[in-house]
Every structure is written in structure tokens, then in C-alpha cells.
Structure 1
Amino acid sequence: MICIECGKPVNDVYKEFGKSGSGNIRLTRCNHQNCQQIADKYVEYDFIIVFLDLFLHKAQAYRHLLFNRQHYRDFGIPIQYLKVLVVYIFFESYVKWLRVKQYCEYTQPKSAFYYYDWQDDVPYDRYWFIFITAIAEFAVFIIAIIFSVRLIYQSRYAIIKYNYLVMSIILSSFGKGFLVLMMIWDYPFSFSAILNVFVLSSNIVAIKVFLDTSTFKAGCFVAFGFIVKLIFQSIIYLFDTSMLLCIV
């Protein structure tokens, strides 16, 4: 566990009195001389408060969820993170599929002697292709960030917990969940571009928290991953004009 204010390790974030599970707890303070604040105030907060602070890019919320909310893991990623990631990719894939659908609707010729049904040109199995490529894009994004972190920090840290780096990226990609609004209401596709900017900025905060580094360095890691992702997208969609609309 760590103090969410200074990021230094602590023995515990609260002490429980009485019978186990009684709920009688007292929050502990960080014992580091330059901090002396409540080690983790989110212990007594509802999750909605934590989520709002994530939305506001507060580093304390990321420290709480990454280091204090779950048990320490040497390897692997909790199944909850993977489930959430699948949901994010599903939403993103669906929005990309809608773009291709609209492209086909507006570019196909229409006349009194010709009837066009976009479903004949953009079948539902096309969605699964977009879904698989979206998974590959996210994997490329993560691998590029891991490579850049390893290149810069290998000499600084003897061991880097890359599973926590991946978890921090997945956690900070929660903004992709707002894409569900485009499935309910008729939002313009510029809304997804705004969400992508928000997600990238959240990625910067999460990586900054995990690596305990500057915003500039974290931004460079995310920028490198995003550029590699763009290159990968361009290669995948090079021979399909309609699929170029999916580059985000």
C-alpha cells in the first residue's frame, strides 16, 4: 500500500477496532516527515467520488485504485480489468463500424433504377473485423509504451511491474465507456475524437502516477504509443478507403 498524497509506501491505510467486519475503523496518517496526511481518504468514500476524481485527473484516485484497492500482484492482470477492456473495445468498434456504414450510404450511387442497401456492402461480419483490429490497435499502443518505458527506465529500476503499467493504461481508458452515448443518442463523430483526447490525457496522468515521473515524460510515452498506433492503423487500412475513417 502507498500514501495517495505523496506516493510513499505505508504499512496500512486504516486500523479496525472491535470485531472483524464491524466497520469501526480509523484512517491512518502517512508517517513520512514531509507528508503527515491521511494515507488514503478514499477508504471512506463511495466509488462515485473516486470516479469523479478520476474524471478530474487527480493522481490520488489513480494511486488508490492501482495500489490500495486491490491485492498486490507480481504477475498477471485482474480479470475485472480484462472484462472492462473488452467492453471499451466493443464500444469503440461499434462507433467505427457506424462510420463505415455512413460512408457506404453516402458514396454509393442512387437512381430511380438502382436501389442500394448498405447492409449488402457492410455486413455484420465486417464489424468483427473492425473489432479484431481494434484489439490489435490497443495491443500495439500498449506494447509501444512498454518498449519506450523499458528503453528509458531499464537502468533506473531493477524491476518494472509491466502488469501494473498495463493496468494503469486500461484504468485510465475509462473515457472510452462514454462512447455508449453515441449508441443511444445521435452524437456527431467529433464526440469520439474529443473522448480520445480525454483518454490520452488520462493515460498521461496514470503513467505519471505509476512511474512517479514528470508529466512531460509520461506525455512522451503516450505520444510515442499513439504515433505507433497511427502507423499501424495506416498500414492496416491502406488498401480500404472506407476503413480510413476508422483511424482515430
Structure 2
Amino acid sequence: MSTSVVLSVLAGVLFGLALAAPPGPMNAIIAEESVVRGWVAGVIAGAGAMTADIIFFVLALAGVATVIQQWPLLRGAMVTVGGLLMLYFALDAVQSAQETLTGSDVAGESRGFEKAFVLALTNPFQILFWLTVGVAMLDPGTIDVLSHTPYVGDAAAGLVVVETGSIALLAGFFGGILVWITGFPAVLVATDNRIDSLAPVVAGASALILVGFGFLFLWDGIGTLL
């Protein structure tokens, strides 16, 4: 395997982790599902968010994703719906926190996949990623990897430049997301096995995160619509 291919794969992994790892509504859902229902439920929730990324990938590949950029009202409506859904799902997280505190059975049917999926489809950060970095990954050319990563930015510009539009870059990207949605729940479950009180804390924190992002998205979406 050539050095350029290895760099492309590693760059893709970096992009995938950069999209999946930051704290936000999707990771709140994954965390809640993991500590309340176990590793499999957490991975399934992560798969919901990843499925949305696959849809964005197909839309970007077909050139349809630019419609969102050309129609601000459409983006505003999507973000507003996302904010309302986050507030609704926050109620589920509160209920999970209460049930874990009281020792009630919370191992019922999981809706983590559906929740993460619809939130990802209406997440402006995810949409923005695919309209910028995502589209850049698909177009043949080059991309400066580190200049797009959080906290590093311009300070590391030019250090890692890879070819875009390659299968290796895209494989690495979705591989990075897969690493996160399987590894993050595993860490949470392993920690929860050592700290019995973690489940209600994580569920409560997930509710707070969802409420915060819910109001943020509503403010953004309604402002765009008005």
C-alpha cells in the first residue's frame, strides 16, 4: 500500500472522528442508550446517526445537497424541526434518568436508532459539514486535512495534504465514524460497570444537552424562517 493511500485513509479517519466525536445531541442519545440499555443499544443509536451521514453522502455525490444551501427557508425548517425533536427526546432522557434512579425496568424496546437518525438529518452542524468538508472530500483535487480540524486550524495548515475524491479517503471517513460509534458506547458501558450510579447521571446529562441544543436550534431555525 502506497504512502499516499495510507495518508488518505488516515485523513479520512480523522475527518470521521472530527464529525462524530464532538459533544452534541447525537452523542447524548448514544450515551443514554449505552448506559441504560447496554453496548448494543448504543451502537444501534450510533448507526442511526451514521445512516444519516450515508444519506448526506449520497445527496452530496448527486449534487442534491447544494439545494439546502440555495434555499435558506428549507434549512430553517429542518433546523426548527430538529430543535423541537430534541426537546421531545429530552423528555425520554429525563424518564430514563428517573427509572434508573428508582430501579425500574428500562430494558424495553429502544428507539435510539430512530432518534439519532432524525436528529442527524436536521442537525445544522452535520448539514454544514457535508456542504463544506464533505463536498470537498468528494471533488477530485487536494485538501489540507489539519486546517479543518478543531483547535489546530491554520497553525498546522499545509502539513498533511491528501488527494480528495478517492475511495481510500471515503473508506477512512466512514471507518472513523464506525470506530467512534462502537468505541464510545464500549467505554461508557465499561465505566458504568464500575460506577453503579453513572446511568442516571449520563441520562440526566443527555437530557440537559438535548434541551440546550433544542433551544439553540429553535433560535437558529426560527430566526432563518423570519
- TM-score > 0.5, shorter chain as reference: no
**TM-score, normalised via structure 2 length:** 0.30
Structure number with greater CO (CA < 8 Å, separation at least 6) is: 2
**TM-score, normalised via structure 1 length:** 0.28
**Whose helix proportion is higher, 1 or 2?**
2
Larger C-alpha radius of gyration, 1 or 2?
1
